[in-house]
Structure 1
């Protein structure tokens, strides 16, 4: 069978998009550089370079997409809903609170560990006859002509030459495909490293998520399955990460969490292994060239401060799916360049809004100027009391106004 689509990059975005296309009866070749793990233990999802130690806060829109794919029941087993969000700044008076009940929604989204999300997606992909999965493959060339896009790749000793009507490059922040096409990217280094782990607290989380701005960086504490388990994402200044990593620093890390967060969670009792990830914003100058379209972090890598990066990528994928289905129904070329440019144009407003918001929050709360601290804490108070603001922000956060 001739697959009409090649997806380069089999992380969470690539796997999700492959399943969307297969459901639409569109054949896919999915290429991934790293070999996927074999899941021998039904109760284990080991960390893997494609599904690492981080967690994803899935917006309501993303949950809806997985429901459409028939995957949500399997994912729900490993996810927990966010029923309330609290935003505070250490040592300041401002506080903002969003409650799902007040906004008349079931939840603001669901938190899931990437290791489990990746396992569920990979399991489903392996069952799908319309997806040919090729892992452990290094793409070495990407070219195109008027009728096809061509991939050359190496898998061990085997040289592959593949062709398709369209190539979707979801191969990450340092995308080979983006560079092969000569697409430039603007890069902003936040000079921060995200410390990521899971902790256990003495008080149950009650499905409350916290964003706590501190002098080190914005600490996100989100509920996980199990009453006392919470995920931690804590961006800290680059160069200080060694202070937080390693088993010998467990208690030091817990003490720092306690001091920054206070006693709302009770006592921080245990921490898992900490992992670190450098933080930067990488924005491709173009997202569609000829028969190739950039997707996921290859198109836009953003700061995790508001947990919007993966959700934005999922909305991109879902819109691209709609364009490709229209091409199929019309018997038209899946890789039509003008269609892909239309797709890119249709996504710019949503993308730019999210990118600007995340970047503004990071920059705004990084400045410790007393006047600016007063202004932003006054803003948090205003957010909490002025009618009409909360529903608007909540809908954007849930991905329902994209």
Structure 2
């Protein structure tokens, strides 16, 4: 059997490879950057461009997927549950709160550092007999006919030729494969840069996550492994990021957090190194071309507000595997175009809801019109008081209706 080729070995590509391997489908996974040698590093967890300084809030559905893959017992050692979510706007009256016991769930999700998540996924892939992992390899050509997809790649200045019935392109926002296929994109630049770090506070987080809309940008503060550690994702206006980066700005950054949050988290005592990432929405015009599927950020890159991006990608991967399992069980073509189009159609509703929600939240809370400010704060109060709204939103955020 020809191996399915996945281009892109970030967290989505690695997760997808493990899902396919569970179906006993052979996979060849290509990653452009050389992975860290964790054995040589000992206890250290070095950052890799795919397993960077950011943290991921795994939805309930994502946790279930990793449970089905047999990975959750290991991942859970580094994960922190979210038992409450507090939503508010600085200097305004509107507030809303989600509490896990009221919604009758163990948690709304789990927060895990990308470096740890990536390490567990990578080591699982490296041990899996169904997966051939080739890192440090650059795809230079992609073409296809009605029977196969052909890939040319370079590794250590040597050319590699690969063919498969099916190629899955999970090679990121600036996907080479998407460009090689001539698939266009719609791009919206939010004119924001996300400042990402970890902080320590004087009060324990008690598994509470905050989404705080401030004049500088929507600020997420999520609980991390260790009672006093919290993840910070703060989108700020592009061009102002240098004000928040560098050790010389540590206290300035902590003071800004303190002003934004007040004493909800206690005193912001320490901050780690800050990293910055430009924010834009990039949506591919189509996710299927012949025998090639776009996956992850190659298909849809969205704003990190509400932490939905990776969870959406994981649900895409899970549903694609369901379609491929059917093809495998019936001895059918894994790259059948009509089957792949059916997968694409099946995912559009979930994708559109998440993309619309995240985009409207960012645009809505970025507008400082006083009338709109009153309207959105009234909406927050309504969210907190009207029966039936919270369960609906919680279910959506947990990814349980996909």
| TM-score bucket (shorter structure) | over 0.9
Q: Which residue of structure 1 lines up, in the alignment, with residue 25 of structure 2?
A: 26
Q: Aligned pair count?
A: 401
Q: Which residue of structure 1 lines up, in the alignment, with residue 216 of structure 2?
A: 216
Using the alignment, how far apart are the partners of 2:121 and 2:139 within structure 1?
Answer: 22
Using the alignment, how far apart are the partners of 2:93 and 2:2 within structure 1?
Answer: 57
Using the alignment, how far apart are the partners of 2:106 and 2:357 within structure 1?
Answer: 25
Per-residue deviation, residues 141-180 of structure 1 (Å, max 9, x unmatched): 0101111101100011210010011000000000000000
Q: Which residue of structure 1 lines up, in the alignment, with residue 207 of structure 2?
A: 207
Per-residue deviation, residues 199-256 of structure 1 (Å, max 9, x unmatched): 0000000000000000110000000010000000000000000000011110110001
Give the deviation of 1:275 after TM superposition.
0.2
Using the alignment, how far apart are the partners of 2:87 and 2:133 within structure 1?
Answer: 42
Gaps of 5+ in 1: none
Using the alignment, how far apart are the partners of 2:244 and 2:355 within structure 1?
Answer: 28
What SS does the aligned partner of 1:77 have? helix
Mapping for residues 63-142 of structure 1, pairs under 5 Å:
63-142=63-142
Using the alignment, how far apart are the partners of 1:116 and 1:388 within structure 2?
Answer: 37
Q: Which residue of structure 2 lines up, in the alignment, with residue 285 of structure 1?
A: 285
Q: Which residue of structure 2 lines up, in the alignment, with residue 7 of structure 1?
A: 6
Q: Is 1:336 matched with 2:336?
A: yes
Per-residue deviation, residues 3-34 of structure 1 (Å, max 9, x unmatched): 42000000000000000000100000000000
Mapping for residues 173-192 of structure 1, pairs under 5 Å:
173-192=173-192
| Runs of 4+ with >2 A deviation | 40-44
Q: Which residue of structure 1 lines up, in the alignment, with residue 260 of structure 2?
A: 260
Q: Which residue of structure 2 lines up, in the alignment, with residue 325 of structure 1?
A: 325
Report if the CA contact (8 A) 1:3-1:26 is conserved. no
Using the alignment, how far apart are the partners of 2:65 and 2:355 within structure 1?
Answer: 22
Q: Which residue of structure 2 lines up, in the alignment, with residue 144 of structure 1?
A: 144
Mapping for residues 370-381 of structure 1, pairs under 5 Å:
370-381=370-381
Using the alignment, how far apart are the partners of 2:365 and 2:43 within structure 1?
Answer: 40
Q: Which residue of structure 2 lines up, in the alignment, with residue 60 of structure 1?
A: 60
Q: Which residue of structure 1 lines up, in the alignment, with residue 359 of structure 2?
A: 359
Report if the CA contact (8 A) 1:202-1:228 is conserved. yes
Q: Which residue of structure 2 lines up, in the alignment, with residue 247 of structure 1?
A: 247
Per-residue deviation, residues 67-114 of structure 1 (Å, max 9, x unmatched): 000000010000000000000000001000000000000000000000
Per-residue deviation, residues 365-395 of structure 1 (Å, max 9, x unmatched): 0001111110000000011010000000000
Give the deviation of 1:123 after TM superposition.
0.4
Give the deviation of 1:44 after TM superposition.
2.5
Report if the CA contact (8 A) 1:3-1:29 is conserved. no
Q: Considering only aligned residues, what root-mean-square deviation do their CA atoms show, in Å?
A: 0.7
Give the deviation of 1:43 after TM superposition.
3.1
Q: Which residue of structure 2 lines up, in the alignment, with residue 237 of structure 1?
A: 237
What SS does the aligned partner of 1:253 have? helix
Superposition TM-score, scaled by structure 2 size: 0.99
What SS does the aligned partner of 2:313 have? helix
Q: Which residue of structure 1 lines up, in the alignment, with residue 37 of structure 2?
A: 38
